[in-house]
Amino acid sequence: MSSRKVPAKKTKSRKRKPSTRQKAQGQGALARLWGNRWLRWSVAGILACTLIGVLVIDRGVVAKFEGKKWSLPARVYARPLELYEGLRISAEAFTQELKALGYRPSGQVTAPGQIWRSGDDFEIFSRDFEFWDQRESARHFRMRLKAGQITSLRDVRGEALPLVRLQPREIGGIYPAHMEDRLLVKLTEIPPLLGETLIAVEDRDFLDHHGLSGRGIARAALANLRAGGVVQGGSTLTQQLVKNFYLSHQRSLGRKMLEALMSLLLELHYSKAEILETYINEVYLGQSGRRAIHGFALASEHYFQQPLQELGTSQLALLVGLVKGASYYNPWRHPERAQRRRDLVLQVMTDTGLISEREKTQAQGQPLAVVDRRQRRSPSFPAFLDLVKRQLRTDYREEDLRTEGLRIFTSFDPVVQAQAQRSLQGQIARLEQGYKMPAGELQGASVVTAVGSGEVLAVVGDRNSNFAGFNRALDAHRQVGSLIKPAVYLTALQADQNFHLASPLSDSPVVVEGRDGSRWQPRNFSREDHGDVLLYQALAHSYNQSTARLGMQLGLHRVRQTVEALGVTSQVPEVPSMLLGSVEMSPLEVATMYHTLANEGFYTPLRAIRTVLSADGTPLKRYPLSVEQRFAPEQVYLLNYGLQAVMHEGTGRSAFRRLSGDLRIAGKTGTTNDQRDSWFSGFTGDHLAVVWLGRDDNGQTPLTGATGALQVWSDMMARLPTRSMDTTPPEWVTYQYVDVDSGKPSGSNCRSAQQLPFIVGREPEGRSPCEHIENPVLHWWKGLWRQR
Amino acid sequence: MMTEVISRWRPPVALALLVALLTGCASSTHAPVRDTGSEAEPATGGRPAGEAPGSNESRGRQPSPIPVKTVPLEHTDALQDILQQARDLYRRGQWSAAIAAAERGLRIERRSAPFYLVLAECYLQLGADDRAAEFARQGMRYTHQGDGLWRAFQQILTTEMAE
C-alpha cells in the first residue's frame, strides 16, 4: 500500500508550477544532457529501433491478414439424394436422411430446412446448395411415398417436378495438424442481427474507436457491475481478433502492449467490415472431440445442425454468448449456465434496441434447442473415408488436402452404409452366439457398390464400424476360395473353347502331378464325388473336383488371364491350387472383379470420388465413368446364369430365407481351407456387395461362405431398396430345353428338362430320351393356350 | 418345330372351350425343376440359434432363372429432364458438362441407352475415340438391333474402326 502512495505524491509535486529559477536549472540540465553525444545517439537509436520494430510488426500484420488467413480442412460430402417419381426409398430412410441434414419438423413449412410429414405425405422446403455443376435453389415441394417408392413429386402450386436434388451430407474432413475447423462466411451472408448483437455485447464502440477504447473499458465495467456478472469484455473486437489471430494466449504486459499496437495497425489498414468478418470466422466457439470449432458458421452447424442464416434470435444469442467462454458455457455440459448467459445476451439486445421487450420474453422462453447429445457426435465412416483419402493422395499433396479447403463430393450412400454396418454387426454377433464362438473373435468387412457406375456406396472395415483402425475392406488380403471359380467357368465359355452350360464335366477324384513329383488332389467340401455333372451345376454347387479338372484342361495361363481381365491386380500365381482360390485378395478387389460380371463384361475401375472443387467452388478434378469391354456380353450372360443358379439351387440358396423369391440375384460363396475365410459376393440389378468374415489371426472358424458371409449379405440386401438384375438375353443367346442329367436337348414336357441359355451355334447336339410329365396332347393344348 | 407349325392354327371356339375345361380339370404340374438339395459347402459345427434347419428353405426356391426384363425407368420425367440437359450442353459444345449430366442420368437408370450415346458423342468430340467406342459398345447392349440408337452406336463404332 505504501509503495503505491509514493508515486502519487511524486506526481503531485510535479504538478506544482515551477519557479523561473527552477525552470532555468531544468533547461540547463536538459541542455547538458542533450549535449552528451552518447545519450543523443542512444535516444536516436532507440527511436530508430522502435520505428523498425513497428514497421516489422506492421508488415507482419498486413501479410497475415492479406494472405491465406487460415488452413482450411478438406470437406468430404456424401452423394446428394436425388428425388424423382419412381425412386425407391423407405419413409424411414428418407426421414433419417432429412434428420441427418438438420431438417426440422414444423407445423407450417415456410422456410428452408423445415419439413412436415403426415403418414406417407411430406412437405419439404429444401436448402440451396452450390453443387459442382450448378447452384440448386431452395425449393418448397410436396412428395408422396407409397410402398417404398416416390409416387408424386410436385411443387406447392401443384406443378410436377421432374427432379429435386437435396444438399449432400458432410461425412468428414481432412484436418490440419492443429485440428482447427471452420466454415468461411462472408459478412454479407450473416444475419445482420448476429453482427449487431456481437458488437452490442463485445464492443459497443466498435464503429467509433481505432482499435482501442477507453470508453469501452469503462462501460464494460459499469455494465458488469449492473448485471452482477461479466456480460461485457473490456477488449475491443479488434483486440480480441489480434489476440486470437496473431498472438499466443500468454498473459504478460509486453504481449498486451503488442496487442494494442497491432490493433491500431490493423485498424489503420483495414475497414471495420473486414475486421468484423475476420473476427466472425476466427473466433473459437467449441470443441468436437479433437476438432476445434471456429467461426459462427461452423458453430451454427455444430450446435444446431442448421446454417447460420436459419437461426432464430434465441439461437444467435446463445452463439454470441459462447464467445466469452465456449467451454464454460457448453450448452450440453452446462445447460443452465448456457441458458443464463443466453438470457443475458438477450437482455443486452433489448437494452440496445436490437429486439423488443416482447421478442426478448419470447426468446427467453425458448429452450436452447441444441441438437440432441447423441446426434451431436456425428457418425464417422472411417473405412469409407480411408478409401477416399487413398484415392485423393494419388492426385493431391497431403498438405493441400489439409489446408486448401477442398470440397470433395463422393458416392457415399448413408442409407446403404447404415444397413451394411447394421447387417455386419448384427449377423456377426448372431453367428458368434449360434456357433458358441468367443465373443469378439469373429471379424468382418464389406464393400457395396452401385452396378454400372462402379461407384462405391459403402465400406465397412471392422465389426465395430466406428473403429478407425485396420481397414479389412481394403487391407485384409485373404485367400478367396471358391470366389475365383467364375473365372474358370468364364474361360470355358469363351469363343475358342467348346463348352456351354450343359457340357458334362466329371466330378470324380482328380490328381494333378507337378514336374517335381508333387501331387495336388483337391476334394469336394462334402468329401463326396458326384460323377458326371453339367457345367452350370458344377458352378452352382461349387464342386471342387470338376472345377479343378476343367481348369487344368483350359490351362492355368488362360484362367489367370481371365482373372486379370476381370480387374484383379493382385499377384495370381499359375499354380493348380489357384483354380480353387489360393489367390489372396481384399474385399475391394473382389468387388472390382465381380463388378465386371455384374456390368455384363464391361470393366469399370471402382470409384469413391465424383468431383473435387477448390474452396471457392472452382472445379479441380472430375473422376468420370470409364468402361472397357473385356468379355462378350453373351459369355457373361451365360456365366451369370450359372451364378443365378448358385442362388436358386446351389450353395447360395439360403439367401431366400430373407429375400423375396421374386428378386433375381447372382452370386458366389467362398470358403477357404479349414474354414478360415467365409466369403460371399453377389449382385442385384442395382447393388453389388462383397462380404468377408474370418479371424484376424487367420484361425479356423465354423463358418462356410453360405453359413457366414451370405447371411450378412442377404440380411443387408433384404433391407436395401434394390431391383432385380435384368435377364434379357443379348443378341446371339437363345434358350433351349435340355435334360439336366445328360445335358442333351430335351422338351418342355420331359422330366428333368430345364431351359438353359446357349450362344447361337454352340447349342448341345443330339436328343435326350423323354419321359413325359403329362399327356403330350394335353400338354400341347395347354401350350396353345399359354401362347394366347 | 412341331409346336411352331401348329401354333399358326386356331381351334374352333367350342373345341377351345372344351380344352379350356379339360385344362382346368387337369392336375397341376410344376415346372421340371431339378432339386438336388446337395450343398458343397454345408453348415458344419451347428447352426445359429433360432435358425431351424431347412426353415423356409422351400419358400425361396424357384424355377431356374429364365429371362425376365425388368422395366427400366427410361421414360420418367427425371430421366427425360436430365437427357434434355445433357443434349443441350452437348449442342452448346460443353462436352465435359454434358458427360457429367449423362453420368447423372445413368446413376438413375444404368440401362438407358440415350445416355451412352451422349457419352460416346462427347468423347468423340474430345478426341477420345477409344473411350467413345467403349460407351457405344455398352449402349448397344440396351438397344434393339436396327433401331435408331443402335444405328447411331454402329456408326460410332464404324468410325472408330476406320480410324
Grid coordinates 485373404 are at which residue?
A478
Burial level of A42, CB count in 10 A (0-12/13-18/19+)?
exposed
Report chain A residues whose CB lies below 8 A from the CB of B47: 434, 707
Dump pLDDT digits (tens) for A763-773. 999 998 888 88
pLDDT given for residue A39 in this prediction: 81
In a mutational test of the A interface, the residue from B2, B41, B47, B142 whose CB has the highest number of chain A CBs within 10 Å is: B41
Q: What is the distance between the alpha carbons of residues B96 and B102, in angstroms, rounded to a whole number?
A: 10
pLDDT at A271 over 80: yes
C-beta neighbour count of A207 within 10 angstroms = 9
pLDDT at A546 over 50: yes
Please name the amino acid found at residue B23: T
Burial level of A118, CB count in 10 A (0-12/13-18/19+)?
exposed
pLDDT given for residue A65 in this prediction: 85
The number of angstroms, rounded, from the C-alpha of A83 to the middle of its chain's C-alpha atoms is: 20
Please name the amino acid found at residue A716: M
In chain A, the domains with their CATH numbers are 74-172 (3.30.2060.10), 175-376 (1.10.3810.10), 426-719 (3.40.710.10), 733-787 (no CATH)
B23:A650 CB<8 A: no
pLDDT at A672 over 70: yes
Share of chain A above pLDDT 70, in %: 94
- Domain ranges within chain B, ordered by starting residue: 77-162
Judge whether A741 and A689 are in contact, CB under 8 Å.
Answer: no
- DSSP state string for A237-274: HHHHHHHHHTS-S---HHHHHHHHHHHHHHHHHS-HHH
Nearest to A658 by CA among A463, A404, A363, A419: A419
B3:A780 CB<8 A: yes
Please give the residue of chain B at the shortest CA–CA distance from A630. B134
- Terminal C-alpha separation, chain B: 45
Q: What is the distance between the alpha carbons of residues A109 and A706, in angstroms, rounded to a whole number?
A: 49
- CA torsion, points A291, A295, A299, A300, in degrees to nearest 10? -150
Burial of A170-190, coded b for 16+ CB within 10 Å and e otherwise, reads bbbbbbbeeebbbbbbebeeb
The number of angstroms, rounded, from the C-alpha of A197 to the middle of its chain's C-alpha atoms is: 36
How far is B13 from chain A, CA to nearest CA, in Å?
A: 12
A196 a catalytic residue: no
Distances (CA, A) of A480 to A572, A587, A599, A670, B90: 12, 9, 21, 6, 44
Judge whether A532 and A555 are in contact, CB under 8 Å.
Answer: no
Please give the residue of chain A at the shortest CA–CA distance from B15. A781
Q: Give the model's confidence band at A378: pLDDT under 50 very low, under 70 low, under 90 confident, else very high.
A: low
B41:A706 CB<8 A: yes
Grid coordinates 431351359 are at which residue?
A755
Q: What is the distance between the alpha carbons of residues B158 and B138, in angstroms, rounded to a whole number?
A: 15
Q: What is the distance between the alpha carbons of residues A200 and A211, in angstroms, rounded to a whole number?
A: 16
- Please report the beta strands in A65-169, taking only residues with DSSP state E, as ranges in sequence order: 74-77, 82-83, 104-105, 114-118, 121-125, 129-130, 135-136, 140-146, 149-155, 164-165
Q: What is the distance between the alpha carbons of residues A391 and A394, in angstroms, rounded to a whole number?
A: 6
How far is B8 from chain A, CA to nearest CA, in Å?
A: 10
Please give the residue of chain B at the shortest CA–CA distance from A452. B110
pLDDT at A267 over 80: yes
The shortest CB-CB distance from B40 to any of A450, A526, A633 is to A526
Judge whether A606 and A474 are in contact, CB under 8 Å.
Answer: no
pLDDT given for residue A567 in this prediction: 97
A435:B48 CB<8 A: yes
Dump pLDDT digits (tens) for A424-474. 999 999 999 999 999 999 999 999 999 999 999 999 999 998 887 899 999
A482 a catalytic residue: yes
Grid cell for residue B22: 379339360
Q: Give the model's confidence band at A66: pLDDT under 50 very low, under 70 low, under 90 confident, else very high.
A: confident
Q: What is the distance between the alpha carbons of residues A334 and A318, in angstroms, rounded to a whole number?
A: 13
Nearest to A399 by CA among A783, A73, A727: A73
Q: Which residues contact A128 (CB under 8 A, 6 or more apart)?
A: A112, A135, A136, A137, A138
ipTM of the complex: 0.85
Q: Which residues contact B72 (CB under 8 A, 6 or more apart)?
A: A726, B109, B111, B112, B142
Nearest to A313 by CA among A191, A140, A406: A191
Edge to edge, the sheet with strand A456-460 lists A456-460, A443-450, A687-694, A677-683, A666-671
> Under DSSP, is residue B14 helix (H, G, I), strand (E, B) or coil?
helix
Q: What is the distance between the alpha carbons of residues A683 and A480, in angstroms, rounded to a whole number?
A: 17
Share of chain B above pLDDT 90, in %: 47
Q: What is the distance between the alpha carbons of residues A551 and A557, in angstroms, rounded to a whole number?
A: 10
pLDDT at A239 over 60: yes
Q: What is the distance between the alpha carbons of residues A487 and A397, in angstroms, rounded to a whole number?
A: 38
Please name the amino acid found at residue B145: Q
How far is A685 from chain B, CA to nearest CA, in Å?
A: 9
Please name the amino acid found at residue A109: V
pLDDT given for residue B58 in this prediction: 33
Q: Give the model's confidence band at A406: pLDDT under 50 very low, under 70 low, under 90 confident, else very high.
A: very high
Grid coordinates 465386371 are at which residue?
A596
Grid cell for residue A216: 469501452
- DSSP state string for A673-685: GGG-EEEEEEE-S
Nearest to A700 by CA among A678, A716, A722: A678
pLDDT given for residue A176 in this prediction: 86
Nearest to A317 by CA among A275, A348, A280: A348
pLDDT at A252 over 90: no
The better pLDDT of the pair B57, A113 is held by A113
Active-site residue, from A136, A180, A202, A277: A202
Q: How many residues does chain B have?
A: 163
pLDDT given for residue A247 in this prediction: 84
Q: What is the distance between the alpha carbons of residues A599 and A607, in angstroms, rounded to a whole number?
A: 15
pLDDT given for residue A18 in this prediction: 56
A690: part of which helix (H) or strand (E)?
A: strand A687-694
φ/ψ of residue A703, rounded to 5:
-100, 145
C-beta neighbour count of A782 within 10 angstroms = 20
φ/ψ of residue A261, rounded to 5:
-65, -45
Q: Give the model's confidence band at A744: pLDDT under 50 very low, under 70 low, under 90 confident, else very high.
A: very high
The shortest CB-CB distance from B64 to any of A453, A648, A669 is to A648
Active-site residue, from A213, A482, A546, A742: A482
B82:A602 CB<8 A: no
> Under DSSP, is residue B108 helix (H, G, I), strand (E, B) or coil?
helix
Share of chain A above pLDDT 90, in %: 71
Q: What is the pLDDT along chain B (163 residues), one digit of tens a residue?
A: 332 222 333 334 444 444 444 443 333 333 322 323 333 443 333 333 333 333 333 333 344 666 655 555 556 889 999 999 999 999 999 999 999 999 999 999 999 999 999 999 999 999 999 999 999 999 999 998 889 999 999 999 987 777 6
A162:B119 CB<8 A: no
Report chain B residues whose CB lies below 8 A from the CB of A452: 106, 110-111
Angle separating helix axes B113-125 and B148-162, nearest 10 degrees: 30
pLDDT given for residue A509 in this prediction: 94
Q: Give the model's confidence band at A315: pLDDT under 50 very low, under 70 low, under 90 confident, else very high.
A: very high
Q: What is the distance between the alpha carbons of residues A104 and A124, in angstroms, rounded to a whole number?
A: 10
Grid cell for residue A742: 445328360
Report chain A residues whose CB lies below 8 A from the CB of B49: 430, 433-434
Q: How would you classify the pairing of strands A456-460 and A443-450?
A: antiparallel
Q: How would you classify the pairing of strands A164-165 and A82-83?
A: antiparallel
Q: How would you classify the pairing of strands A609-613 and A619-622?
A: antiparallel
How far is B18 from chain A, CA to nearest CA, in Å?
A: 11
- CA torsion, points A247, A251, A256, A259, in degrees to nearest 10? 10
pLDDT at A502 over 80: yes
Dump pLDDT digits (tens) for A571-604. 999 999 999 999 999 999 999 999 999 999 999 9
Q: What is the distance between the alpha carbons of residues A504 and A125, in angstroms, rounded to a whole number?
A: 62
Dump pLDDT digits (tens) for A143-154. 999 989 999 999
- For the stretch A151-156, contacts whose Cβ atoms lie closer than 8 Å and that sit 24 or more positions apart, written own/partner, are A151/A85, A152/A85, A153/A83, A153/A84, A153/A85, A156/A123
The better pLDDT of the pair A11, A419 is held by A419
Return the CATH superfamily for domain B77-162: Tetratricopeptide repeat domain (1.25.40.10)
pLDDT at A23 over 80: no
Grid coordinates 374352333 are at which residue?
B12
